[in-house]
């Protein structure tokens, strides 16, 4: 899902950078106000886990790649703003060190995977958890669904950025990106639900950190 340089137009790239910079700046302020002692080490652990998960890439038509995102897990455990910072750090390191995603397209990649995926997954999970009545199975389903949806929506956002830039037709990019990420999302949903189940059994207090 990382967009390389040259695949999006200058206006799309600039817009992505402006939106990403504004959101990240606010996320820093919001996180500083709410950050506690438990969240700091957890942010580091999640960043390392997500970084490793995203290194497994699957080539897709249209010049992009598919992979697990991890935004849902970060958002569920730490909230959307802290989750956004984690995703941003991961994406910046991947871009600068491993050339995974272009530097000029970094803003767009942060918007897709760091902002859209994080907020979609957080609010879907919170809504599902609220309606679950505290039942563990329903909470896990909510987490899995949130993770799946975050992958699909982020992929669709990437598609429209490519289409607006004139890089690839909608009829080519949407089935390719949407289809493969719908499958990848199933794996991400299962992994997210599995991790949440383990946390519920061992450290249920961590699930209250994002409230």
Q: What is the pLDDT of residues 93-127, one digit of tens each?
A: 989 988 888 999 999 999 999 999 999 999 999 99
**For residue 204, is it within any domain?**
yes
Q: Using CA atoms, how far apart are residues 164 and 76, in angstroms rounded to an integer?
A: 31
Look at residue 184 and tell me whether its pLDDT is greater than 90: no
Q: What is the pLDDT of residues 124-165, one digit of tens each?
A: 999 998 888 778 888 999 999 999 999 999 999 999 999 999
Element holding 60 (H helix, E strand) = strand 58-60
Over the chain, what is the mean pLDDT? 88
**For residue 87, is it within any domain?**
yes
**For residue 43, is it within any domain?**
yes
Q: Could you give the number of structural domains in the chain?
A: 1
What is the pTM (predicted TM-score) of this model?
A: 0.89
Residue 120's CATH number: 1.10.1760.20
**For residue 152, is it within any domain?**
yes
């Amino acid at each position: 899902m990382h967009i390389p340089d040259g695949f999006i137009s200058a206006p799309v790239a600039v817009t992505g950078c402006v939106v990403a910079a504004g959101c990240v700046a606010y996320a820093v302020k919001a996180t500083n106000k709410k950050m506690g002692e438990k969240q700091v080490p957890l942010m580091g652990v999640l960043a390392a886990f997500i970084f490793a998960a995203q290194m497994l890439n699957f080539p897709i038509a249209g010049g992009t790649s598919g992979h697990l995102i991890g935004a849902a897990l970060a958002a569920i455990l730490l909230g959307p703003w802290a989750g956004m910072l984690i995703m941003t750090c991961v994406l910046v390191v991947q871009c600068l060190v491993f050339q995974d995603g272009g530097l000029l397209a970094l803003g767009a990649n942060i918007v897709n995977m760091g902002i859209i995926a994080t907020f979609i997954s957080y609010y879907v999970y919170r809504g599902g958890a609220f309606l679950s009545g505290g039942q563990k199975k329903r909470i896990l389903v909510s987490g899995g669904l949130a993770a799946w949806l975050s992958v699909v929506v982020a992929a669709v956002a990437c598609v429209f950025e490519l289409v607006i830039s004139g890089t690839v037709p909608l009829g080519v990019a949407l089935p390719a990106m949407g289809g493969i990420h719908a499958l990848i999302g199933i794996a991400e949903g299962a992994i997210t639900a599995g991790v949440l189940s383990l946390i519920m059994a061992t450290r249920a207090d961590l699930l209250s950190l994002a409230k």
